[in-house]
Amino acid sequence: MKTELTTNANELNKRVELKLSTLFSEKCTLFFSVFPSLGTDHFSVQYIEEEQPFLIVRQWKWNQKTAFPLGIHIYDLSNINIKEQKIPLSTGDYSFISDIQEMEIIIEELDGVMLDGDYFKLVISQQEYHWRMMHQVSKELQELLDKLVRLAGVIY
């Protein structure tokens, strides 16, 4: 494999987001991702609705092979390693996922200046929602997404 290097951190972030956002299957009916602007714990959770539904959890963490600090950061785009795991679901897990899928989602305007922070993305069927701070969504949605993230075994 040919090494692909860049000094552009935005290019690295775009590449990581693309790898995390690629759908596992066309049976994905819910997708949630978090991309911290300064952090390294980027992840996505996909709900795959089959006879035995399951979650696909993808994570990317910063490591020394990703960037070489030589006065400026040189990012190795050919060495972006995504950890992926399949998590089987129990019958009790389906109800709160369907609650997310069926609720009316409203994203409040950001009430301040945001220099850095997280980038949240939620896709239900074909509808996409994007926001920067968790308080922009309802408490009910926050609680349901927290359950989803805990079930997936990731931290945000």
pLDDT, mean of each 10-residue run, the chain (156 residues): 81 88 92 77 92 94 62 78 93 90 93 75 92 92 95 86
Sign of CA dihedral 109, 110, 111, 112: negative
User: How high is the pLDDT of residue 46?
Assistant: 96
Domain count for the chain: 1
CA gap 152, 86 in Å, rounded: 9
Q: In terms of DSSP bridges, do strands 54-60 and 42-48 run parallel, antiparallel, or are they unpaired?
A: antiparallel
User: How high is the pLDDT of residue 129?
Assistant: 96
* Tokens coding 19: 């790898």
Q: Say what the pTM is.
A: 0.86
User: How high is the pLDDT of residue 14?
Assistant: 87
User: How high is the pLDDT of residue 45?
Assistant: 96
Print the domain residue range for 41.
5-152
Closest listed residue to residue 74, CA positions, set 22, 14, 12, 23: 12
Angle in degrees, 0-180, between the axes of helices 139-152 and 91-102, rounded to the nearest 10: 140
User: How high is the pLDDT of residue 58?
Assistant: 95
User: How high is the pLDDT of residue 143?
Assistant: 96
User: How high is the pLDDT of residue 64?
Assistant: 57
